[in-house]
Amino acid sequence: MSTEAEIKALAPWFHNIHLPDGNITAPDHFLGDFPAFKWNNIKNSIPEDLSGWKVLDIGCNAGFYSIELAKRGADVLGIDLDEHYLKQAKWTAQQFGLDDKVRFKQMQVYDLAHSEEQFDLVWFMGVFYHLRYPMLAMDILTQKVKKMMVFQTLSLPGKEEMDIPEDVEFHRREIMKQDAWPKMAFIEDKLAGDPTNWWAPNHQGIISMLRSCGFKVSAMPEDETYVAEKDPALQSSLDTWNYSEYLSAVGKDWKEEVQKKTKK
């Protein structure tokens, strides 16, 4: 079967991938040359040499980012819940001769709570706002990231920032009405026809969420995309709030953790 025929057999494609033989997978993509144009904006914000790095690509789709990261020397695990996209991704990795550098698994982000594997870089683009339980996903991922995360989400318009007080008095909640106060809009029905577009945080909300998970934003290479690095000076919320709640949420034994706290 020719490459063109294989591309057609694997359609539809959401990633327009330029294959080594000159073929492309989605030449009529409604977003243009997606996601290559996003990669071109982001690629200079991460190390050019990723040799020895382990990378996790969440919501890998047809594997565009997984392939690009593997080209830089990384060992990549791409996860997605859709078998169709995973089939495309495995085929694409073979076309580039990178199937020894990239693994693909059918997984939800929440499944990572039951894995001991950690990663130097987590690529978390185009997924957060589709999750019904986004902060649970963030608390899981903070335990998986060793060095840095590339984070992208649908967001509210604006780039306002503010200094967030350590505490807010109960009767002074008016501060939360400010445009820059960290917030996240909930989408009850659909956005752009998609019923899985649940959330749209504002700019400060993204910074604050990342900070609460132990990350400091080091770059913003394009709109809605944040390069965040693990910061030892920042405590993850897992270290500061009731850890037993997290354990319960991911289906692990939480009672021992409660006993530790009640004995103190």
Please say whether the beta carbons of 123 and 96 come within 8 A: no
Strands 199-201 and 184-186: antiparallel
Q: Domain spanning 51-233: which CATH class is it, in words?
A: alpha beta
What are the boundaries of each domain within the chain?
A: 51-233
> Hey, how many other C-beta atoms are within 10 angstroms of the C-beta on 234?
14
3-class SS of residue 114 = helix
Alpha-helical regions (H) of 163-226: 203-212
Note down pLDDT in tens along the chain; length 264 residues.
899 999 999 999 999 999 999 999 999 999 999 999 999 999 999 999 999 999 999 999 999 999 999 999 999 999 999 999 999 999 999 999 999 999 999 999 999 999 999 999 999 999 999 999 999 999 999 999 999 999 999 999 999 999 999 999 999 999 999 999 999 999 999 999 999 999 999 999 999 999 999 999 999 999 999 999 999 999 888 887 778 999 999 999 999 888 887 775
- State residue 101 phi and psi, 5-degree precision: -105, -15
3-class SS of residue 229 = strand
